[in-house]
Amino acid sequence: MKLAESVEHGKADKNSPYPPHLKGQDGAGELTEYALEKGINPKHILSQALIPAMDIVGKRFSENKIFVPQMLMSAKAMGASMFFLKPFFQSGELKSKGTLIIGTVKGDLHDIGKNLVRMMVEGSGWNIIDLGVDVSAGSFVETLKENQDAIIGLSALLTTTMVNMKEIVSEIRKEFKDTKILIGGAPVTEEFSNTIGSDFYSADPQGAVDYLNKLVS
């Protein structure tokens, strides 16, 4: 499907200059809009184009075959497609796999890693509540109260801020003992994850996607 190719190679719209072999052609946004106008089921668009394409992108990133700039372009293309699919999620015609509440922890203003995970998870069919950066334990808890079936994702880029993950996990556990919590970020390790009591650590966005999908498989 041409749409899958556009997402895989980061062609968001017709004006996107990359990749060169698709220059001047419709991108993910136009192709999604056209497919919907032609009566193609939005579930088919998601399951047969977007999810497989982002799965390929995630695996290539994990294998160091592509890097952050290429992944961001693919995520942007996926976002252009999702713009036209979101009304179907809102109407209930498309069902999300679940909800991920994600944010960069208190004291940390870095968001590239968090954004990559958000985009990859959304492209896999999940609803995302993005709390942004510098997010306190209280913000995670309050959001979880309104979305009690959600999963929590914590991100940190600095060794000085990753320690704040421990407080956040602890505060969440006080009220929601069974909530799944996954963490990630450059300084974070599986050992650290085990120490603070989170449920899963991933070194890359694809690992987070795989973990979440296993929870609902």
Same domain, 57 and 100: no
Indicate the residue among 95, 117, 143 that finishes a domain: 95
Question: Measured between alpha carbons, how far apart are the two ends of the chain, in Å?
Answer: 25
Closest listed residue to residue 120, CA positions, set 69, 79, 70, 179: 79
**The two structure tokens encoding residue 217:** 């498989």
- 104 and 83 fall within a common domain: no
pLDDT exceeding 70 applies to what percent of the chain?
A: 100
Distance in angstroms (rounded) separating the CA atoms of residues 20 and 11: 10
118, 51: one domain: no
Q: Is 185 left (phi over 0), alpha (psi -120 to 50) or beta?
A: left
Q: Are 197 and 169 contacting, i.e. CB atoms less than 8 angstroms apart?
A: yes
pLDDT-above-90 percentage for the chain: 76
User: How confident is the model at residue 84, as a pLDDT?
Assistant: 95
pLDDT of residue 93: 87
Among candidates 78, 207, 96, which has minimal Cα distance to 150? Answer: 96
For residue 167, give its domain range: 96-217
Cα–Cα dist 143/166, whole Å:
18
Domain boundary among 44, 77, 95: 95
What length is written for the chain?
Answer: 217
pLDDT tens digits, one per residue of 107-155: 999 998 899 899 889 888 899 999 999 999 999 999 999 999 999 999 9
Residues 208 and 101 in one domain: yes
Q: How far apart are CA 76 and CA 21, in angstroms?
A: 18
Q: Could you tell me if residue 52 is left (phi over 0), alpha (psi between -120 and 50 degrees) or otherwise beta?
A: alpha
Tell me the pLDDT band of 22, cut-offs 50, 70 and 90. confident
Q: Tell me, what's the pLDDT at 57?
A: 92
> Is the backbone of residue 151 left (phi > 0), alpha (psi -120 to 50) or beta?
beta
Question: How far is residue 31's CA from residue 26's CA, in Å, rounded to a whole number?
Answer: 6
> Which pLDDT value is given to residue 94?
86
Q: What is the pLDDT of residues 165-210, one digit of tens each?
A: 999 999 999 999 999 999 999 999 999 999 999 999 999 899 999 9
Q: Do 5 and 23 have their domain in common?
A: yes
Closest CA to 76 of 153, 1, 18, 152: 18
The verdict on 6 and 90 lying in the same domain is: yes
Do both 84 and 153 map to the same domain? no
Q: What CATH number should be reported for the domain holding residue 194?
A: 3.40.50.280
Count of structural domains, the chain: 2
Helix (H) or strand (E) holding 71: helix 68-91
Contact in structure between 66 and 59 (CB atoms under 8 Å): no
Same domain for 34 and 135? no
Do 30 and 41 lie in one domain? The reply is yes
pTM: 0.87
Q: Both 110 and 189 in a single domain? A: yes
pLDDT at 1 (0 to 100): 75
Cβ atoms within 10 Å, residue 4: 20
The 3-state DSSP class for residue 206 equals helix
Identify whether the C-beta of residue 105 lies closer than 8 Å to the C-beta of residue 155: yes
189 and 162 inside one domain: yes
Mean pLDDT calculated for residue range 64-72: 89
Same domain? For 120 and 167 the reply is yes
